[in-house]
A and B are shown apart, each in its own frame.
Chain A
Amino acid sequence: MSDQNRKLYEELGDLARYIEQTMHGFQNLQQPIEAASHQLPQATEHLSDLRKMSEEATHNVMGQTEAIQDNHGRLLTALNGILARLSHAGIGGPLLNDLEAMRQLLNDDEKRLIEIFTALSFQDLLAQRVNKLVTVLTDVEHKLLELLVIFGSQHPNGQQRDQGKTGDMLKWLEASKTTALKQDLVDDVLEQLGFG
Chain B
Amino acid sequence: MPADPNMKILVVDDMSTMRRITKNFLKQLGFNNVEEAENGQDGLAKLRAESYGFVVSDWNMPVMTGIEMLRAIRADEKLKTLPVLMVTAEAQKDNIVEAAQAGVSNYIVKPFTAETLQDKMNKIFK
Contacts and interface: CB of A to CB of B under 8 A. Distances in A.
Interface residues of A, number: 17
A124 B28 contact: no
B110 to A, nearest CB: 6
A59 B28 contact: no
> What band does the interface of chain B fall in when counting residues whose beta carbon is under 8 Å from A?
10 to 19
Interface string A22-66: 000000000000000000000000000000000100110010001
Given A114-B28, A117-B25, A123 B17 contact: yes
Nearest to A62: B20
A62 B24 CA distance: 9
A125 interface: yes
A55 B17 contact: yes
Given A114-B28, A117-B24, A125 B111 contact: yes
Given A118-B111, A118-B113, A124-B110, A66 B15 contact: no
B114 A62 contact: no
Contacts of B111: 118, 121-122, 124-125
Interface of A: 55, 58-59, 62, 66, 69, 114, 117-118, 120-125, 127-128
18 contacts: A59-B17, A66-B24, A114-B24, A114-B25, A117-B21, A117-B24, A117-B25, A118-B21, A118-B111, A121-B111, A122-B111, A123-B15, A124-B13, A124-B18, A124-B89, A124-B111, A125-B111, A128-B60
